[in-house]
Structure 1
Amino acid sequence: MPSAGSEFGTATAVDMDKPKVAVITTSGCPHCKRAKNLLKEAGIYFQEYNLGQAPDVLANVKKLTGKKTVPQIFLCGELLGGADELQVLLSDNSLQTRVESNIASDALPAQISDLFESLDVSDKQLPSILLPYLPSDMSEEEFACLDGISLRLSSDRSFHGRHARGLFGRSKGDAPISGRSVVDWLVENEPTAGGDRGKAEALCKRLAVARLLEPERGGSESAGPESGSFRVPYAAMRPRLGKPLNRHLEWPAPARPAQEVAEALRELITALYDKFLSDNGTKVDYDGMARDALFRHYVNSAAELQKVSLAGLSREQRMAFFINIYNAIIVHGTAVYGAPTSTLDRLRWFGSLKYDIGGAEFSADDIEHGVLRGNRPSPASLFALIGRPQWAEGHFKRSDPRARLAIDPMDPRIHFALVCGAKSCPPIRVYTPETLEEGLDAAAAAFCEGSVSVDKANRRVELSMILKWYGQDFARSLRERLAKVAEFLPDHKAQDLKELLSGGAEPTVEYTPYDWGVNKK
């Protein structure tokens, strides 16, 4: 369901009776964030309709307006455009003048308002982050209290430095801690234990029941907490690079259907992304994200992926699932490790960010090249680098059971949907099996509109490096690739490109240097 909210800068009481401006947005959209900030700075009262959780409604809105991207900004029933058009209208005060001169009327056209009538526009709550693994004999209040204790325990670096018993090469987060040491810490540091060892032992047991302490495999629960050893999940939330990011605790129950799990994770990660996205929509505060309670809950929820079943998913379901999981793992990994700073770091990074999905490890590279690109070699593989990608084997070996998940036929529009954390990457978006076609179309249109330049007079076309690295995914020849790109462009730009291709020699193609600078505050 969409959520609706009103915001204003210096609006008068009369203005606030009925907003004349409406903004249709989605969570995590940098252009939406920029548009809202521009309106607030200008003191223009507006109504926001966040359709991030109502992709079917958003698809209908796009059909009615003919505009594939968000934000979509309306004044008294008239579509003004997106963030760029808004900035132009605000720069010469023409929007402010039109707002003041227009008599009160609905901000949205009637056809679009009608789409919202049957929907609950109250704020949508995030999916439950406790219930999937909340023990039957534990209240949410007790869990929240234990959650705080576990977080304080995991944050005590001096404690982990003294008591973590890792073997050579194991990180502190991976290393088990003796139950006696945990009880000692609770006696000394936890007020609810009151310095009483019996109460501390009882707390230790409840922490284990809640999976906020993870017993070492093979340990005996009946022997008592002091005789065993544990891992502290929050301390293991930063595993050694190359270890799965969601294996800090073992998911204790059967998982929900894969699409349901992915949807819950998508809602959490887009809420985090939106929360820490700067007002101008250009940077993300990943450090702040990593310290936020919602991020810890996201990481715990991601553990459910360990037990999902991918069997029986349709092509569209697999595509939506893995696009969303890829984008989530990139945001997750950037918050935990920071972004790579060199070419060699990047090559290692995308192959080392991993989730345990259904009992198998999937890196970001596995998801992109093995699944979404239909089991094709990476552009960084040896044969691809020498211009002979057809000689290379697939990303997954034939004997690898993960190869059965490869998307066939692959859809090159995925390259406009995958987030890599760099400034030149597409923004994070929401994808569902039901609206996958519309979502990929919108991603392609938004990316190409901003990154493809057509100079008809000089017969020159400027493209993103993505279209060079992955050119073979779009078409074999350059002319065919350009024709494919034309499908994603606005009408006037598409027409110019088609005319260049229809007569004379191929246009000169230049590729814009890729900005690998991280979109980090």
Structure 2
Amino acid sequence: MRHKTIIWLIAGLLFSAWSAYAQEPDWTSYQTVLKHVKPGSKNNVSLMLVDYSAIKNNDSLDKAYRDLAAFKLERLTSREEKLAFYINAYNILAMKIVADHWPTESIKDIGSLFSPVWDKPAGELGGKTVTLGEVEHSILRPMGEPRIHLAIVCASVSCPDLRNEPYLAARLDEQLAEQTRRFLNNTGKGLRVEENTMHVSKIFDWFEDDFKSQGGISAFIKRYKAGLPELILKTNLPYDWAVNGTQ
């Protein structure tokens, strides 16, 4: 009996040590940034608009970025923790790039044909300089969660909307499901039905392979958009690269 007690004590100590080691960042500073994201409309599309002037001038975005850059990546142990972290990281870094070059008409204007913005240094994670392209294609996409494409926001009108809260490991599935439904319910950039055709965002075209694990684009969409009849699928909604902020 004494040996069993000792074993349980050791197991408890090991679990406590692991719990203390594995943790998500404190997203309080990021939540402060998100207070400057409000519903609005731009170019006849409903979206969440970012007040880049405010987050540039009040230091809230700089604080969120400093907290992000200082976080020890080895503390992320579960897939959900990593997904939530890097989705938030992408969105913070995208806002930072725009804010650093504010005012700008489009995030794409920060780059060029031969040096696109996605390949430019966006900031530091874990002591390493990263680009938006690296976070998306080298870290997030290999994790096999296609709904990231409805959660990462490249600071443009036709991108999915920024949520008014950070993504969290404990609520990630719920948050991603809600985010997907919101995007598909936005007829200006997510999905629009006209006669016998379902027009959807070009995001589904660009990342078609990522949705194959879900049975393909149509099967994925029907999982989150109830009541859709059999329709011709076209991934051809116009993509507006205008910045998701007010000038």
Q: Give TM class, smaller chain.
A: 0.7 to 0.9
Alpha-carbon distance in 2 for matches of 1:299, 1:480: 36
Cα–Cα, structure 1 residues 290 and 441, in superposed 2: closer, same or farther, change >3 Å?
same
Deviation, 1:352, is: 1.5
Structure 2 residue aligned with 1:336, among 90, 100, 121? 100
Contact 2:50–2:244 (8 Å) recurs in 1: yes
Query: In the alignment, which residue of structure 1 is the partner of 2:63?
Result: 297
Report how many residues are paired. Answer: 212
Alignment partners' CA distance in 1, 2:73 and 2:198? 45
Q: CA deviation at 1:295?
A: 3.7
Letter in 2 for 1:325: A
Q: Secondary structure at the match of 2:216?
A: helix
Structure 1 residue 321: deviation in Å?
0.7
Partner-residue secondary structure (3-state), 2:25: helix
Q: Aligned ranges for residues 200-349 of structure 1 at < 5 Å?
A: 259-261=24-26, 263-271=27-35, 273-274=36-37, 277=38, 283-305=49-71, 308-310=72-74, 313-338=77-102, 339-341=107-109, 344=112, 348-349=116-117
Match of 2:212 in 1: 475
Contact 1:354-1:363 at 8 Å conserved across structures: yes
With structure 2 as the length reference, what TM-score do the two structures score? 0.74
Q: What is the match of residue 8 of structure 2?
A: none
Map of 1:367 onto structure 2: 135
Instruction: Call closer, same or farther: CA 1:463–1:319 in 2, change over 3 Å.
Output: same
Kept in 2, the 8 Å contact 1:331–1:421? The answer is yes
Q: Deviations for 1:153-185, whole angstroms, at most 9, x for unmatched residues? A: xxxxxxxxxxxxxxxxxxxxxxxxxxxxxxxxx
CA RMSD of aligned residues (A): 2.8
Instruction: Report SS of the residue matched to 1:475.
Output: helix
Which amino acid in structure 1 is aligned with residue 63 of structure 2?
H
TM-score of the superposed pair, with normalisation by structure 1: 0.37
Q: Is the 8 A contact 2:202 2:235 kept in 1?
A: no
Cα deviation, residue 483, structure 1: 1.7
Higher relative contact order (Cα pairs below 8 Å, separated by 6+ residues): 2
* Pairs within 5 Å for 1:482-493: 482-489=218-225, 491-492=226-227
Query: Which of 412, 415, 438 is residue 149 of structure 2 equivalent to?
Result: 415
Query: Quick check: 1:464–1:511 contact (8 Å CA) kept in 2?
Result: yes
Contact 2:204-2:235 within 8 A present in 1 as well: no
Q: What SS does the corresponding residue of 2:84 show, helix, strand or coil?
A: helix
| 1:424 maps to which of 158, 165, 171 | 158
**Amino acid of the residue matched to residue 242 of structure 2?**
G
CA contact 1:330–1:353 (8 Å) conserved in 2: no
- The structure-2 alpha-carbon separation of the partners of 1:286 and 1:343, relative to structure 1 and needing over 3 Å to count, comes to same
**Contact residue 354 and residue 364 of structure 1 kept, 8 A:** yes
Q: Distance in 1 between the 2:210 and 2:110 partners?
A: 26
In 2: Cα distance, 1:459 partner to 1:346 partner: 40
Q: Within 2, Cα distance between the matches of 1:476 and 1:351?
A: 28
Corresponding position of 2:192: 453
Task: Quote the offset at 1:411 in angstroms.
Answer: 1.0
Report SS of the residue matched to 1:373: helix
Structure 2: runs of 5 or more not aligned: 1-20, 42-46
- Contact 2:23-2:76 within 8 A present in 1 as well: no
C-alpha separation in 1, matches of 2:208 and 2:83: 20
Post-superposition shift, 1:347?
A: 5.8
SS at match of 1:462: strand
Where in structure 2 are the equivalents of 1:182-201 lying within 5 Å?
A: none
1:462 and 2:193 correspond: no
2:176 to 424, 440, 454: 440
- Letter of the structure 2 residue corresponding to residue 427 of structure 1: D
Whichever residue aligns with residue 517 of structure 1, its letter is A
Residue matched to 1:514: 239
One-letter amino acid matched to 1:472: D
Instruction: Please give the residue correspondences for 1:110-149 in structure 2 after superposition, counting only pairs within 5 Å.
Output: none
Question: 1:311/1:508 Cα in 2 relative to 1: closer, same or farther (>3 Å)?
Answer: closer
CA contact (8 A) 2:22 2:75 kept: no
Kindly name which structure, 1 or 2, has the bigger radius of gyration based on alpha carbons: 1
SS at 1:313 equivalent: coil
3-state SS of the aligned residue for 1:428? coil
**Counterpart amino acid of residue 179 in structure 2:** A
Q: Which amino acid aligns with 1:485?
A: I
**Letter of the 1:358 counterpart:** G
